[in-house]
Amino acid sequence: MFGIIVWTFILIVWVGNIIIRTRPSMKDVEGNGFQILVAVLFIMLSVVNIVGRAISLNSDASPETISETTEVPIEEQTYNGEELYYIEESY
């Protein structure tokens, strides 16, 4: 959960940085293109990490219902008129 909060903060910072860098007063500043590129890369990285951590956090939760399948022994199966043959499994 802490990781999601940290990546959200990083996302907010870099979105703010890209908003500042794309203002009309910053259009002709040297090195501005590189800063915009870095901001876009960090925005993509933070979105991917937030989504990944949210999915991981959701999959770690225990399921509400657990369905367990139990095998019925051959002796307890209902007889439908056919003969049952038990064949051993070989590997």
Residues of the domain holding 36: 2-54
- Judge whether 7 lies within some domain: yes
Residue 57 burial (CB count, 10 A): 12
Residue 39 within any structural domain of the chain: yes
Give pLDDT, residue 56: 86
Residue 82 lies in a domain: no
Q: Could you tell me the pTM of the whole model?
A: 0.58
Any domain includes 35: yes
Residue 28 falls within a domain, yes or no?
A: yes
Q: Rounded to 5 degrees, what angle do the CA atoms 12, 13, 17 make? A: 115
Domain count, the chain: 1
Cβ-based neighbours of 35, under 8 Å, separated by 6 or more: 17, 21
Residue 60 lies in a domain: no
Supply the pLDDT for residue 83. Answer: 67
Split the chain (91 residues) into runs of 10 and give each run's mean pLDDT: 88 90 82 88 93 84 55 58 66 59
Q: How many CB atoms lie under 10 A from the CB of residue 17?
A: 16
pLDDT (0 to 100) of residue 82: 66
- Count of CB atoms within 10 A of residue 14's CB? 19
Hey, CA dihedral for 74, 75, 79, 82, is it positive or negative?
positive
